[in-house]
Amino acid sequence: GENVEQHPSTLSVQEGDSAVIKCTYSDSASNYFPWYKQELGKGPQLIIDIRSNVGEKKDQRIAVTLNKTAKHFSLHITETQPEDSAVYFCAASKGTGNQFYFGTGTSLTVIP
Amino acid sequence: GAVVSQHPSRVICKSGTSVKIECRSLDFQATTMFWYRQFPKQSLMLMATSNEGSKATYEQGVEKDKFLINHASLTLSTLTVTSAHPEDSSFYICSARDSSGTGGPDTQYFGPGTRLTVL
């Protein structure tokens, strides 16, 4: 089955700096890679996703890159703000109807 | 759009009782819903996949007789924890797949979660 690894487990950055979270996956058949933000006591919120036919996707301060050859994908947050502080999860899926395999999460703290 | 609600948000019950958690897709139809369990500071663990009008598919190690799942309509799935015990205390989260949404058929939207405490 699929194995998703996520690094780092914790990350602290100064407000305004960039944050990068990396994930690797094992199953080359995976073709959908979403990123979720989870605040304390709440459910995960989809923030960005990418499919295997695209190498990069950007939405304002958030971007995701995918390297299919190396089987890794990364979340980039620029100009970080205190409200970006949360736990971020990556996931991999083989597509429609298939389950998500989640990474172990990264606790991001943005220091004002 | 793509909002998923859960009810209740918190529940405290005595050991041996049953608890029902509802998961609703508010503005889309969800043929598939998923139930997850999350322990403190850990990742999400898939418990079962719920398809409208058919039996749920449970992950290995999840007791189907203990965690009853019903997906009777395209907007509602329920998880019933039967004869709950303290070890069932956890954060339960559902998600729904919006197959017809702009996000594409793969996208899952999560509910806010239900904190279950069994005394």
Q: Which of A73, A37, A35 is nearest to A54 (CA)?
A: A73
**Closest residue in chain B to residue A87, using alpha carbons only:** B41
Q: Which of B3, B27, B17, B33 is nearest to B112 (CA)?
A: B3
CB A102 within 8 A of CB A4: yes
Q: With an 8 Å Cβ cutoff, is A36 touching chain B?
A: yes
Judge if the upstream peptide bond of residue B8 is cis by omega within 30 degrees of 0.
yes
**Partner-chain contact A44 B49, CB within 8 Å:** no
Q: End-to-end distance of chain A based on CA atoms, in angstroms?
A: 41
| CA–centroid distance for A70 within its chain | 16
Planar angle of CA B10, B20, A36, nearest 5 degrees: 55
User: What pLDDT sits at residue B102?
Assistant: 63
Map residue B87 onto helix, strand or coil: helix
Give tens-digit pLDDT for B31-57.
Answer: 889 999 999 889 999 999 998 888 899
Residue A89: pLDDT band by 50, 70, 90 thresholds? Answer: very high
Q: Which residues from B are below 8 Å from A40, CB to CB?
A: none
Burial (CB < 10 A; 0-12, 13-18, 19+), residue A21, is: buried
pLDDT tens-digit profile of A24-46? Answer: 999 999 999 999 999 998 999 99
Cross-chain Cβ contact A100/B42 below 8 Å:
no
Give B-chain residues touching A42 at CB under 8 angstroms. Answer: 112-113
